[in-house]
Amino acid sequence: MSLTTEQAYSDLLSETREAALLESCGAVLGWDEQTYMPVGGAEHRSNQLALLAGLAHEKATAPRVGELLQHLESTRDVPADSVMSANIREIRRDYNRATRLPKSLVEEMSKTTSLSQQAWVSARKNRDFAQFLPWLEKVTRLKREVAQAIGYGQGVPYDALLDEYEPGMTAADVTTLFEALKADLVPLIAQVRDSGRQPRREILTRRYPIPAQQQFSIAAAEAIGFNFQQGRLDVAHHPFCSGFGPGDCRLTTRYNEQHFPGAFFGTLHEAGHGMYEQGLDPALWGSPVGRACSLAIHESQSRMWENLVGRSQSFWKWLYPKARETFPEALGQTPLDEFYFAINDVQPSFIRVEADEATYNLHILLRFDMERPLISGDLAPADVPGMWNELSHKYLGITPPHDSEGCLQDIHWSAGLVGYFPTYSLGNMVASQLFEAAHRDLGDLSSQFARGEFQPLHQWLTTKVHRLGRKYPALELVERVTGEPLSHRPLIRHLQHKLGALYGI
């Protein structure tokens, strides 16, 4: 007896959920590796992760998945613009991509990146690029193999890797958006530099006891909407968020007693990611519509809560009295206006995750300019430090004093996340465009923030973005929610408005 559409669809979701369960088990082990695992467990952990990656790949590429997809694609019973239709479309996309990758390559990639991340931690600590170079060479070779296996049509190898994070986008698409952003951003940063105004930067490097930072950060994350009954915050060498499934989302941050913004804004950033994960429909977990739309959409959530909310004047009108109470030695005699100017200081810096809203995007342009030749073969891994320093001087006007503040600062390449970096600036654009739409729909958000009211924005994002998962492709989702195609202009308008007032430009 042939399957009905409903039964075939139910069977298909059962297959994808089992693959998702295996992936989530690997995610738990990956989180533990970055937080609590002893260094001596690296080799064994790499074997565990490789095994799980191979099993998940087998499940995701099983012939049965292909048969069910073919059955469903041949029927006329699937309603257009339905969750079922979207899931079938996205599972087909994932299946086609996964079946082009040999299981052996998937396992080797998993094992190598697990060990590579441990090597990166040590190399960064020791400021020793030579220690990391053999691993960068291995990861680069494997990512080139991945690109070739997946294919990239008439484009470039980098397209195959970018497509994992931004489905359907190419390096050429990103270049067009980034060139438009750069054309407006660089003159704006120059105006800030030439304004002659500077905040009291030392405000942020006073003594902020770590236990107090922990309590303060958790309270702020909870206030904006992260549910700690379904999540937690821990420490890692590089901040990240892991959503394992319904009811379990893990955030990490890192603390510096002499640098307040690092942990605080890092926690808000990761809480934004976490709120997206917590906002996905739990009934659809294990299916594409129960997953985040794309990395740019994910980054839009973290960057929005970190910057558009967390660095706003209205947010600190609400929170600053509590900050002065928590850090009396550092902030007891400091007026709000001076603190607000300090946290929005625009100044080229070495570390991406500590960069201001404006120059942050220059950090992304630098990495985008490096990743493409790294994958095409025009840039050898051994030449990465030299090119990094050259581009740092080009974009930021500064040269890192050592590689730990240069090419060793990010975990991404050690983890095989090549093609990920562009999503940060794309996320900044999406965040600003969504924020303008939220203002139109919700009214005066600033007044709400000043009263400590964040639920209206949180609920709006849950309804408009989170609950939809991958029902629509990212660019279509942005246009549906905002009424306009993705553009850099809302981000520039936001920066011009904020920086114009602070720097008198």
Any catalytic annotation for residue 325? no
At 235, phi and psi to the nearest 5? -110, 140
Given a contact cutoff of 8 angstroms between Cβ atoms, the answer to whether 248 and 296 are in contact is no
Which residue intervals of 36-82 are DSSP H helices? Answer: 42-60, 63-73
Which one of 33, 166, 270, 306 is the catalytic residue?
Answer: 270
- The three-class DSSP label of residue 94 is helix
Question: Which three-class secondary structure state does DSSP give residue 76?
Answer: coil
| Angle, in degrees to the nearest 10, between helices 474-482 and 422-442 | 20
Dihedrals phi, psi of 372, to nearest 5 degrees = -60, -50
Largest separation between any pair of C-alpha atoms in the chain: 79
DSSP element (H, E) containing 253: strand 248-253
Assigned token pair, 416: 């095989």
Structure tokens at 239: 């901040």
Contact 105, 146 (CB under 8 A): yes
Quote the CA–CA distance of 96 and 100 in Å, as a whole number: 7
Q: Please name which of 112, 140, 168 lies closest in space to residue 373, comparing C-alpha atoms.
A: 140
- Six token digits for residue 440: 């139109």
**All residues at 6 or more sequence positions from 3 whose CB lies less than 8 Å from its CB, including other chains:** 11, 71
Contact present, 445 and 437 (Cβ < 8 Å): no
Active site residues: 270
